[in-house]
Chains A and B, each alone.
Chain A
Amino acid sequence: MGISKRNIPVLLLIALVVIVQLITAGTDTSFYLTQLTMTAYYSLVIIGLCLLMGYAGQLSLGHAGFFAIGGYVSAALTTHNLIGLRHNQLIELLNKTGLLSMGQDIYGEKILTVIPWAACLAAILVTIIIAFAIGKPVLKLKGHYLAMATLGFGIIIFRFAMATEYFGEADGISGVPPFHLLPGLTVSGDFGARISNYYIAWGLVLLGMILSLNLVNSRVGRALRAIHGSEEAAAAMGINASRFKLYTFVISAVFAALAGVMLTHYNGGIGPSEASVMKSVRYVAIIAIGGMSSLWGALCMGVILNFMSLRGMFGSYDGAVFGAILVAMMLFAPDGILRLPLLKKLWRKNGPARN
């Protein structure tokens, strides 16, 4: 595989990730890495949502819900003490297969919890099941109905997180243990693990990006774009529109859930605000700015805006900034900031052709 034209942006991204790390190391500003790591995880959600919105053309106002499902399932499984259920057959079986780990809490009490790997897989599995169950009926809807249904789904998840004791109600879940990915690689908020975490996060983004780019440029991607253009026409060409839409929905939900799992282990906890409608709207806002059907645009805008927001640059106007961005973008540049008339000419010359 030579360096084809398509790989250049990916290589540039790798270079940029490394350069940024080296700069922060050189200028003693490695505290930026914390926000950059979190930004990376949020960007993963955005990449997934961009596949759904930009390529399959389906709006989702409930993606924070999937992020929260991932984070909450993983957090709950790795923190809730199963020692009381030790003699339960299922728990015994799990223990024997090595899916549980025995540890001690700060008071020296024995705690028995699910190991993060198993919890992560469980979280992804739960997400896939829910995404299939929700996606099948929801994706039959269009326009306003689709928007409201996904919004409703997001609110239900938020309310569940807020009202269920198992998920810590309004406080959320804290004390989530580190996630030992591989020997020597641990997802945790540990001070010393900052640099390795930065690379884990961006490695995942890169992986997600490469997967998505391949998907978009494959037969599936062309089918999705056909669906975006006109579902009826796509169906007439023999494309099973509802199946492609459903698979894309599930894939994007898994992206969001994986980001949720990782960020929860990185932060050591998760709260109900991660499931709020405002978060979902933010993801949509970022994709709108990125130009709807542009993975790179969405990634760039996601990184810039999330980083600024996490650094607290918008202060208490955080929500207002995203609201204003949404309105302004949709009024003046519905095709994204990179396709403003001024940039359009330049973009058309060496960018991907617009469908």
Chain B
Amino acid sequence: MSLQLFTQYLFSGITYGILYAIVAIGFNIIYNTTGIINFAQGEFVMLGGMCAISLHEYMPLPAAILLAVIITGIIGGLIEIIFIRWLDSPSVLRMIIITIGLSILIREAALFVWGESVRSLPYFNGDAVTSVQIFGANISPQVLWVIGVCSVIVVGLSLFFQFTYAGREMRACAANRTAATLCGINTRSKITWSFMLSAGIGAVAGCVMSPITYTQYDIGPGLAIKGFTVVILGGLGNSMAAVAAGLLLGIVESFSIIVVPMAYQEVISIAILLIVLFVRPHGLFGSSETACLQDF
């Protein structure tokens, strides 16, 4: 394989990989504060993209994206307040079914509002044919935007959780909710915030990816299952490992085109998910001992 082709595949892998990583981080944020896997995570990405596309008709791109992220964040918060907050220690099965139901409802609502058509935001710089040359490969500036924005999100989040008061409170929530409550942390509101944050970063990813991957009402489930694959690869609840795992999955997926036809691409990542679940359910980077203590 020539260096040019290699670079081309590599960048395509990184682009998708970092998108999966963002979805995975969204899963992890909610899982860490509530112990729930939110099956509607992919729908946040779709909502972010769709809102931005609609808003862009009335306002400049940056404002549209900002507003779309805020709207999606609010929707995420509302979902928590309306459907999850008042449930008294629900079973895992119940939460799975509720979030699946919510993902269907969001998807159907999106179908009703935006129809079946495939949409996309305009390229942030240039257009579909503008490209930057890297090692002889043609890379769209949008790819650089995706990598840049997502890196900022990842770094920003880790700083947020390390150094800010709110971030530390959320981590306290994750570690031990009862103890956090006893320390005077309002765990309820922290959970709402975690839903808003998770929905918000999903929306950001949905906006920057839209010019490349396009946005349609039903992209959610595919993203969710790949995001979940990444979550499992990295180990449930571990956001930094999710980035590495996301890049890994994206690159494997993009290079798999050499061996298997495009139509089977999704099969590859799901097969990886199944294999990891069967062989190393605690993830590539997790330890099996801590996994035993965790309640799935």
Contacts and interface: CB of A to CB of B under 8 A. Distances in A.
Interface of A: 59, 61, 137-138, 140-145, 147-149, 151-153, 155-156, 159-160, 162-163, 277-278, 281, 284-285, 288, 317, 319-320, 322-327, 330-331, 334
Most buried by A among B96, B97, B112, B271: B97
B102 A327 contact: yes
B263 A159 contact: yes
Contacts of B91: 334
Main secondary structure of the interface of A (DSSP, over half): helix
Nearest to A327: B101
Interface string B249-264: 0000000000001011
A145 B83 contact: no
Interface of B: 37, 39, 83, 87, 90-94, 96-98, 100-105, 107-109, 111-112, 221, 225, 228, 232, 261, 263-264, 266-267, 270-271, 273-274, 277-278, 281, 295-296
List 4 tightest A-B contacts by C-beta distance, closest first. A323-B104, A326-B101, A163-B263, A327-B101
A331 B274 contact: no
18 contacts: A148-B37, A148-B273, A148-B277, A149-B273, A152-B225, A155-B225, A156-B271, A163-B261, A278-B104, A281-B100, A284-B100, A319-B111, A320-B108, A325-B101, A326-B98, A327-B83, A330-B97, A331-B83
Contact of B105 (A143, A149, A162, A327): A327
Nearest to A170: B263
Given A284-B97, A320-B105, A141 B277 contact: yes
Contacts of A325: 101
Nearest to A58: B93
A55 B37 CA distance: 24
Contacts of B111: 319
Contacts of A152: 225, 270, 273-274
Contacts of A281: 100, 104
A153 B83 CA distance: 28
A323 B296 contact: no
B97 A319 contact: no
A163 to B, nearest CB: 3
B274 A149 contact: yes
A144 B266 contact: no
B290 to A, nearest CB: 15
Given A152-B225, A323-B105, A159 B100 contact: no
B166 to A, nearest CB: 27
Given A148-B228, A156-B267, A322 B94 contact: no
A137 B278 CA distance: 6
A145 B92 CA distance: 11
